[in-house]
Amino acid sequence: QPVLALDVGGTKLAAGVVARDGTVRSFCRIETAVGEGPTAVVKRLLDLGEQALAEAGLPVGSTPVAAVGVGCGGPLDPSTGVILGPPGLPGWDSVPLGQLVAERFELPTYVENDATAAALGEYRWGGWGVESLVYLTVSTGFGGGIVASGKLFHGAARQGGELGHVVIDWQGRQCGCGARGCAEAYVSGTSIARRATEAVAGSDSTLAGLPITAKDVAAHARAGDPIARAVWDETTAMLGRMVAVLVNVCEPELVVLGGGVTRAGAQLLDPVRNAALRQAMPPAARACDVVLSRHGDAVGVLGAAAIAYERLG
Ligand code: ADP
Ligand code: ZN
């Protein structure tokens, strides 16, 4: 029996039906429109889930679907499925997402931090053939998950490790979590856009006066705009340093990068991989490689599905 997988991001919602071998039988996505607030967003997420079931030929009611897996930005409580005010989802304080999903689909529902889930999805279905990996998502926010010796790392608080809030500059930028200089304060689509907006104010940059996204910064950096390039270089330098820290701490066989910002491809991967493997301790660096997920936009859905299969047993 396949599972339904739902992925809740700050920019997009995604839903898919995923078979036990990782085959994605249907995939649909829609903008989160986070400003509409949790009630409206959750309704559209549930509708998107129904659409994914229909597109897989499994309309609700007659569904031979085993469970629903849900990946969402943390912090959240994976045992109750309650979302606890993630920085990327303003207004989502104590949203009982697991319960709402379970009621709509009348199926066992398992909620997990999206990046933790994606780490398990990459381990199961990434096609890497490794027993240990660190997954990092560079999307609206920044987070990650760890698989060691074939097992997902959960932690006593069941948050899977807040990798996005590792401090890489203790006097650095204010982060949404309240601390200063977290990796997320530099390495996230939101921060890339914000730093570029600050940097171009009053300048003659090709980005000045426009509403700026991380995608724009990547494009203008490629086209040679010096301010966009400086923001991009700072981002890849920070991410490279962050990856080096994780390579030293975890000594994984692989670091996998995913999320919307990785659509920039080699423009992101090459400087990050070079910086990380140069700065990490040589034995750990030699044992490791840094790659992009092969799953593109489906990485979150595959992660949520992997969690559903793991908890189903
Ligand atoms: P979510 O956080 O909802 O899961 P995504 O993973 O799609 O959403 O990430 C959205 C972020 O990815 C946005 O900040 C967007 O600007 C950025 N992005 C999308 N395409 C590109 C691109 N080609 N290059 C760089 N950044 C991109
Ligand atoms: Zn933080």
- pLDDT tens figures, 46-97: 999 999 999 999 877 666 899 999 999 999 999 999 999 998 899 999 999 9
pLDDT(208) > 70 = yes
Element (H, E) at 16: strand 12-18
Beta strand 151-152 pairing with 12-18: unpaired
Half-sphere exposure of 86 (CA within 13 A, CB side): 31
pLDDT(144) > 80 = yes
> Nearest Cα to 114, choosing from 57, 163, 51, 185?
163
* pLDDT value of residue 281: 98
Distance of CA 64 to the CA centre of its chain: 29
How far, in Å, from the CA of 282 to the mean position of ligand 1? 32
**Cα dihedral 123, 8, 232, 186 in deg (nearest 10):** -90
pLDDT(299) > 70 = yes
* pLDDT value of residue 204: 86
* pLDDT value of residue 62: 63
- By alpha-carbon position, which residue is closest to atom 12 of ligand 1? 260
- Residues 222-242 have a mean pLDDT of 97
Ligand nearest to the CA of 170: 2
Question: Where does the pLDDT of residue 159 fall: very low under 50, low under 70, confident under 90, or very high at 90 and above?
Answer: confident
What backbone phi and psi angles, to 5 degrees, belong to 152?
-70, 135
- Residues 195-200 have a mean pLDDT of 95
Pocket lining: 303 vs ligand 1, CB cutoff 6 Å: no
Tens-place pLDDT, residues 12-21: 999 999 999 9
* pLDDT value of residue 61: 66
> For a pocket test of ligand 1, which of 140, 216, 268, 269 has the largest count of ligand atoms closer than 8 A to its C-beta?
140
pLDDT(39) > 90 = yes
Ligand nearest to the CA of 88: 1
More confident residue, 119 or 203: 119
Proportion of the chain above pLDDT 70, given as a percent: 99
Contact 86, 177 (CB under 8 A): no
pTM to 2 decimals? 0.96
How far is it, in rounded angstroms, from Cα 156 to Cα 159?
8
More confident residue, 62 or 286: 286
| Average pLDDT along the chain | 95
How far is it, in rounded angstroms, from Cα 42 to Cα 143?
22
- Residues 186-191 have a mean pLDDT of 97
Beta strand 68-72 pairing with 109-113: parallel
How far, in Å, from the CA of 2 to the mean position of ligand 2? 36
Pocket lining: 139 vs ligand 1, CB cutoff 6 Å: yes
How far is it, in rounded angstroms, from Cα 45 to Cα 228?
34
How far is it, in rounded angstroms, from Cα 219 to Cα 225?
9
Pocket lining: 143 vs ligand 1, CB cutoff 6 Å: no
